[in-house]
Amino acid sequence: MREGIGSIFLYNLIAIFIVLIFAFIAGTVVYYKAFKVNNMIVSAIEKYEGYNNLSAKEIDQKLGTIGYQTTSKHKCYKKNGKTALEYVSTNRGIFDYCVYEFNEGNNFRSYGVMTFITIDMPVIGGVLKLPVYSKTKLLYNFG
């Protein structure tokens, strides 16, 4: 009888361990995807030297191909006292990212990009959004 209880306890430990490992792997994959999206947006902004129609078009094309989440309500928070730039809309929908512009002194500027890790928890009935933030290199103002 004692070994029967011990084996049930051992099975529970194994099940908990497997759930924790899969949760860790899923979290790593989701974080990697958000960081990859962040890197794509930063490279498009640096390629076109700012957040403009050309960079927004490339960003939306790339985000549409990898399946990044769209949103119906786009809300960006202040970052270092700056509000997000106006979202440049295209035909694909509203993707959930924010772009901030920072003036870095004499004829230089940089951009901050915030994307979100979205974790939907159907059992609890909530959505958890965690921000991932990165910044571009310094860009020179030619005008």
**pTM of the complete model:** 0.78
- Decide if 127 contacts 119 (C-beta within 8 A): yes
Cα separation, 98 vs 59, whole angstroms: 12
The DSSP result for 19-61, as a single string, is HHHHHHHHHHHHHHHHHHHHHHHHHHHHHTTSSSHHHHHHHHH
Cα separation, 94 vs 134, whole angstroms: 20
Averages of pLDDT over each 10 residues, the chain, 143 residues: 71 93 88 89 93 89 80 74 73 78 89 84 73 90 75
pLDDT of residue 124: 67
Distance (Å) of CA 20 to CA 34, 111, 119, 127: 21, 37, 16, 19
